[in-house]
Amino acid sequence: MPHRRKEFINLGFDALTQDEVVGRILQATAAPRFRYVVTPNVDHMVRIDADPQVAALYRNAWLCLNDSRILSALARLAGVELPVTPGSDIVVDLLGDARLPRDTPILVVGGDAGLPGQIRDKLGLTQVSQYRPPMNLLRDPAALRRTVEAIEESGAALVFLAVGSPQQEHVAAAVAARGRAAGVGLCIGAALEFLTGARQRAPRWMQRAGLEWAFRLGSEPRRLARRYLVIGPRIFGIFLSYLVSRRVSLR
């Protein structure tokens, strides 16, 4: 089925329900050519606005899914209905889906050393492996190439890229461009750590209220203060510029 992609702040989003997303990913695990999924949030959108190269990584993704209730609220103000399909929820539903064979080959790129074992124990998945690349992949072309080759050699049907944005999107795009791997790559950040309980996620009421960022800031203030208090608020200026440009184009 064709994607129902909606444009918002110069990026096309696939307006799919969570069930539709999981169903499409399950079908694509048998596809002969690698494709990847991105889940932009406010932080990503600020980066996308500032860097055309990063923007291309998101535009060329097989699925581009809105991970932010703040983005959804801003889109609604602009008359665009943009559903929220958080990457963390997609990972939970996907790995717990009865249609996913428990012996599906899965590769985790990044994360703590114990992560594959925790996933196996929690979900009964038997073929979970891991590749842990060095830090700062984008500054080390040789390490980036080795990471791409590790994904190709793994034969994994599902590849969970957990090396942070925009590194994970660069890796996914490089794998897709080479055309030597199959399956689906998911750029999911900390989603697996939320799943295993290694990192605590915000209560449901805070998620629904669009306050998950506040919970994460309170949990990791030193690491996340700049992201949420300095970088994140730039989205409002970007949104206003988007509204102005839309009005001009409609004249």
Rounded distance between C-alpha atoms, residue 62 and residue 6, angstroms: 14
| Cβ–Cβ under 8 Å, residues 189 and 87 | yes
* Cis-peptide, bond into residue 86, ω within 30° of zero: no
Domain of 84 in residue numbering reads as 5-250
Rounded distance between C-alpha atoms, residue 91 and residue 98, angstroms: 13
Could you read off the pLDDT tens digit of each residue along the chain, which spans 251 residues? 455 689 999 899 999 999 999 999 999 998 899 999 999 999 999 999 999 999 999 999 999 999 999 999 999 999 999 999 999 999 999 999 999 999 999 999 998 898 999 999 999 999 999 999 998 899 999 999 999 999 999 999 999 999 999 999 999 999 999 999 999 999 987 788 878 877 777 788 888 878 787 878 788 888 888 888 888 899 999 999 999 987 755 55
Q: What does each C-alpha distance from 26 to 30, 44, 97, 155, 226 come to in angstroms?
A: 8, 26, 9, 16, 36
* Number of structural domains found in the chain: 1
